[in-house]
Amino acid sequence: MYVSSGMPGHLIRRLHQYSTQVFMRHVREAGFDLTPVQFAALDALRDNPGTDQAGLAEAIAKDRATVGAVVDRLEQKGFVARHVSRRDKRARELSLTAEGAAVLSRLLPVVQDLQKAILPGLDDAEYRQFIELAARAARAAGTQECD
């Protein structure tokens, strides 16, 4: 066993890789073609229609360039629409299309069902504890600047 194999950064990276694989497999098996980031974008836009790309980037914790590419793909699929902002003609507001809302509605149960598969080997109490600790660490990380 390497020293790094017990370090949080290494474990987080491995779990991220695994969670992405589980997500992609379950979502594809259900007949959808979306990545975890695309799903997160649709989910955030459902609750925040009219947000711009910068707001979406902040909501899903991704950089603006990544979100720009994600929005481009979602727009090509017909799931997201861009509209000129009434407040700032240079800005583009984002919203789900009817098709995007319908896909999200059908996809959400699939994503909810695959969550436990992302953390194999944990019983229900350990799963809830993991979620609590990960959420606490994520909130704390969000309030601190990177060195």
Nearest CA to 106 out of 46, 17, 51 is that of 46
Contact 39, 59 (CB under 8 A): no
Q: Where does 3-142 sit in CATH, by number?
A: 1.10.10.10
Domain ranges of the chain: 3-142
pTM: 0.87
Confidence of residue 144 (pLDDT cuts 50, 70, 90): low
> In this predicted model, what pLDDT tens digit does every residue of 62-95 receive, in sequence order?
988 899 999 999 999 999 999 887 777 777 899 9
- Residue 23: CB partners within 8 Å, gap ≥ 6? 35, 36, 39, 111, 114, 118
